[in-house]
Amino acid sequence: MRAAVYSRYGPPDVVRIQEVGKPIPRDNEVLVRIHATTVCAADWRLRTADPFLIRFMNGLLRPNKTKILGMEFSGTVEAVGPAVTRFAPDNQVFGGTGFQFGAHAEYVCLPEAGTLAAKPENMTMEEAAGVLFGGFTSLHFLRKANIQAGQNVLIYGASGSVGTFAVQLAVHFGARVTGVCSSSNVDMVRSLGAAAVLDYTREDFSSAGPVYDMVFDAVGYSGFERSLRALKRGGYYVRVGGSGKFLAILMGALQGIWVSATGAAKVVGGVAAGSREDQLFLKGLIEAGKLRTVIDRFYPLDEIAEAHRYVERGHKQGHVIIVMDPPR
Ligand SMILES: NC(=O)c1ccc[n+]([C@@H]2O[C@H](COP(=O)([O-])OP(=O)(O)OC[C@H]3O[C@@H](n4cnc5c(N)ncnc54)[C@H](OP(=O)(O)O)[C@@H]3O)[C@@H](O)[C@H]2O)c1
């Protein structure tokens, strides 16, 4: 099968299309022919080993464990192992490979009990491919920060994969949402249900003082001091995004522990995870018309290096979709 493979850390061109072995499903596994996948922030972070800690997980000098990126997909079941009961060939599905990656390929195998489910009926394959990375991340952190109806929640970086889902989910949970993005994304973020949208090129979200119960930083640029100024005492400061040197990460973690200990704010961070239950929860919201995937642009698999280049700039609107077999 064809797959996008990277065998050294570096710029987008390290990703090459190659022939690799087609996976064979084990007894409890489902083989999916991928129709669409995404290039997300985790893909370029693994490709560039940013933050550096990635090298301790995926190979110090070169990627050893994960060589095919891609965390989310939609597709059609091609074959199932003999112990599989919930899926059958030709089922249309969407799923997530999580930290196994591997979705930038024509086929992927997943355990039946993994994050794999029937595609939402009201979504295209391309839309369904972009649900889980941003959806799982937003759901994980909003719950970790104990989101409650009636809260005033600020989503910083409201226009990316995480931000677009965070806005919609926070609205679903009954919060009054203020989104922060650049001028060109204001209308889109408002269309997701944000009650107010601030353009970060024109205004400072902290100028209104401590009015938010939660500052949810989806991209890592909200700034510690500024976010604390905008939070009510004891509010949640959620740090989803961010990169940097080991020392900066360590200092940020210590700052968080200190601020939490003083009671000024509860600082939440870490790595998001999603489960099959979370996937079904998101699917339910999609089918109820409460959640949608925002798509910026499409690329064929052959142009995946271009997709990486675009995504790494950090200004995509929602999702960048790779379509495996685009109509010719
Ligand atoms: N902790 C975890 O488990 C976890 C999980 C998933 C993702 N992440 C991290 O979360 C971050 C966001 O991921 P993503 O997939 O949402 O990325 P993305 O889709 O690339 O989001 C980029 C968005 O950030 C906005 N942005 C760029 N510069 C900005 C600035 N200076 N101020 C405000 N907004 C700015 C852009 O909006 P404009 O074009 O309007 O500027 C763009 O829409 C990444 O760093 C990723 O690694 C962490």
Task: Indicate if 170 and 67 belong to the same structural domain.
Answer: no
Residue 160 lies in a domain: yes
Domain ranges, residue 51: 2-131+293-323
- Of all protein residues, the one whose alpha carbon is nearest to atom 37 of ligand 1 is 315
Type of residue found at 15: V
Confidence label for 248 from pLDDT (cuts 50, 70 and 90) = confident
Cβ count within 10 A of residue 60? 10
Question: What's the rounded Cα separation, in Å, for the pair 258 and 265?
Answer: 10
Same-domain check for residues 114 and 155: no
Q: Is residue 64 a part of any domain in this protein?
A: yes
pLDDT at 249: 78
Residue 137 included in any domain: yes
Residue-wise pLDDT tens digits, 178-216? 999 999 999 999 999 999 999 999 999 999 999 999 999
| Cα 160 to averaged position of ligand 1 atoms, centre (Å) | 5
**Predicted confidence band of residue 326 (pLDDT cuts 50, 70, 90):** low
Is residue 327 scored above 70 in pLDDT?
Answer: no
What rounded mean pLDDT belongs to the chain? 95
Is 282 a member of any domain?
no
- Give the residue, by CA position, lying nearest to ligand 1 atom 30: 221
Q: What is the bridge-based pairing of β-strands 29-38 and 107-111?
A: antiparallel
pLDDT confidence band for 241 (50 / 70 / 90): confident
Kindly give the number of the ligand 1 atom that is closest to the alpha carbon of 133: 6
pLDDT at position 85 is 98
250 and 127 in a single domain? The answer is no
- Report CA torsion sign: 88, 90, 96, 97: positive
283 within domain boundaries: no
Ligand 1 atom nearest to CA at 182: 40
Instruction: For a ligand 1 pocket test, name from 162, 200, 227, 295 the mutation site with the most ligand atoms within 8 angstroms of its C-beta.
Output: 162
Judge if 183 and 232 occupy the same domain.
Answer: yes
Q: What is the pLDDT of residue 255?
A: 87
Q: Which of 276, 284, 267, 326 is CA-nearest to residue 301?
A: 326
Can you give the pLDDT at residue 252? 82
* pLDDT given at position 80: 98
CB-CB contact of 246 with 252 (8 Å) = no
Distance of alpha carbon 99 from alpha carbon 132, whole angstroms: 13
Nearest-CA residue for atom 36 of ligand 1: 315
CB-CB contact of 294 with 287 (8 Å): no
DSSP 44-83: HHHHHT-STTHHHHH-SSS--S--B---EEEEEEEEE-TT
In a domain, 273, yes or no: no
Residue 243: band (very low, low, confident or very high) from pLDDT cuts 50, 70, 90: low
What 82-88 contacts at long range (C-beta under 8 Å, 24+ apart), as own/partner pairs, is 82/27, 83/27, 83/28, 83/112, 84/25, 84/27, 84/28, 84/29, 84/30, 84/112, 85/112, 86/112, 87/30, 87/112, 87/116
Banded model confidence at residue 52, pLDDT cuts 50, 70, 90:
confident
Q: Which is higher by pLDDT, 160 or 254?
A: 160
What's the pLDDT score for residue 292?
98
pLDDT above 90 covers what percent of the chain? 90
Q: Which atom of ligand 1 is nearest to the CA of 272?
A: 3
Distance from the CA of 63 to the center of ligand 1, in angstroms? 24
CATH number at residue 302: 3.90.180.10
Q: Which of 251, 268, 285 is the last residue of a domain?
A: 268
Number of structural domains (the chain) is 2
Question: Which three-class secondary structure state does DSSP give residue 35?
Answer: strand
Same domain, 125 and 141: no
pLDDT in tens, 134-187: 999 999 999 999 999 999 999 999 999 999 999 999 999 999 999 999 999 999
Report how far residue 234's alpha carbon sits from residue 232's, in angstroms, rounded to the nearest whole number.
Answer: 6
Judge whether 235 lies within some domain: yes
Pocket of ligand 1 (CB under 6 A): 40-41, 45, 137, 157, 159-163, 181-182, 185, 200, 218-221, 240-242, 271-272, 314-317
